[in-house]
Amino acid sequence: MVVKSLECLMEASRNITNTFVTTLLSYTFTLAGDEQMRQNLLSNLDQQAKREGVGRYWTLDNSVQPWGSVEVEMSAYVLLALLSGPTLPGFGLNYSAGIVHWLTKKQNAYGGFSSTQDTVVALQALAKYSAATYNPEGSITVTVTSPSGQRNQFTVNRNNRLLYQEKQLQEATGTYKLRAEGKGCVFVQFALHYNIPPPPDSLAFKIGANSGVCNNTKNTAFTLTTTLRYSGTRAETNMVIINVRLLSGFKPDETSLQALREDPTIKCLDLDEDHVIFYLDSNQFGEI
């Protein structure tokens, strides 16, 4: 079954122009041990590579903003293809280092990336590179000097190379100087956390609730009307979830719930204690 699948992929690869699919195929045929297909696919990808300083990466076709999770995932798959098989001429560790340089610049302050999928693939690729370049010898001292002259030193040697080291820098602005002395390889990352107010038009939904008036003092009941309007910039939304929490001491009327379940605009309705949860499909709705 695997052999037939690879034959099918090989036949289809002749007409594939999608860069993302090509990166997947390069890793697939690397794992399959087909060096000729691997060489052809990596050579094709090399011609499509983008450069950012010493960094090397891949984007979707005609992409103008290569900052999404797909670009990280694509570049990571190329790195996996390079490191999961024999070294090819022109694709040594120096070539891989350019991809690693670009990937590490896209890591967030917690070591991950923008989504689960690209984080899993990128960390696997970076781990492969770490294993390929591992050297138990060497020691490096990294000195970070703040704008006011305050110095912080980090020493990385064979005894603590797996230890994560962090220090909080007191000056948020200004030019920091970084100096590394010794022999070896270290990864240094600066993380700046800050908050900004959202722009006035950042909200894509407007929600309102009207509880109406209760005139029956014997059986206290009222109609709760929830209004949702989509005012975003997209042509249509993804799935929308509305969570309505009832007032303390009240529960929803079963007759009204059944009417909501039969409403074609509501995909699903769930009850969770004092919460009523609506699921709305992708839609081009205005107000519902």
Residues 6+ apart with CB under 8 A from 120: none
Mean pLDDT over residues 66-86, rounded? 90
Give the chain's mean pLDDT.
Answer: 87
Question: What is the rounded CA–CA span in Å between residue 128 and residue 265?
Answer: 49
Tokens of 61: 């076709």
pLDDT given for residue 100 in this prediction: 96
Classified as helix, coil or strand, 145 is strand
Whether the predicted pLDDT of 74 surpasses 90: yes
Q: What would the pLDDT profile of 168-197 be if each residue is shown by its tens digit?
A: 988 888 999 999 999 988 889 888 888 888
Distances (CA, A) of 247 to 211, 224, 225: 10, 10, 13
Classified as helix, coil or strand, 143 is strand
pLDDT given for residue 121 in this prediction: 96
Classified as helix, coil or strand, 240 is strand
Residues 6+ apart with CB under 8 A from 192: 172
**166, exposed or middle or buried, with CB in 10 Å at 0-12, 13-18, 19+?**
exposed
Q: What would the pLDDT profile of 123-179 be if each residue is shown by its tens digit?
A: 999 999 999 988 888 899 999 999 999 999 999 998 998 899 999 988 888 999 999
Question: What is the rounded CA–CA span in Å between residue 21 and residue 10?
Answer: 12
Residues 6+ apart with CB under 8 A from 99: 55, 56, 57, 75, 78, 79, 82, 125
Whether the predicted pLDDT of 287 surpasses 60: no
Helices marked H in the chain — which ranges?
2-12, 19-32, 35-48, 69-83, 93-105, 116-132, 254-261
Confidence band (pLDDT; 50, 70, 90) for 67?
low
Whether the predicted pLDDT of 72 surpasses 90: yes
Amino acid at 198: P
At what angle are helices 93-105 and 116-132 packed, to 10 degrees? 140
Whether the predicted pLDDT of 62 surpasses 70: no
Q: What would the pLDDT profile of 216-267 be if each residue is shown by its tens digit?
A: 656 677 788 888 888 777 777 778 888 888 888 788 888 888 888 888 888 8
Closest CA to 284 of 220, 238, 245: 238
Confidence band (pLDDT; 50, 70, 90) for 280?
confident
- Domains with residue ranges and CATH for the chain: 2-132 (1.50.10.20), 139-183 (2.20.210), 205-280 (2.60.40.690)
DSSP 3-58: HHHHHHHHHHGGG---HHHHHHHHHHHHHHT-HHHHHHHHHHHHHH-EEETTEEE-
Question: What is the rounded CA–CA span in Å between residue 79 and residue 59?
Answer: 14
pLDDT given for residue 128 in this prediction: 96
Question: What is the rounded CA–CA span in Å between residue 209 and residue 187?
Answer: 51
**Alpha-carbon torsion angle 211, 217, 221, 227, nearest 10:** -10
- By the 8 A CB rule, do 45 and 26 touch? yes
Confidence band (pLDDT; 50, 70, 90) for 65?
low
Q: For 246, which DSSP code?
A: P
pLDDT given for residue 42 in this prediction: 96
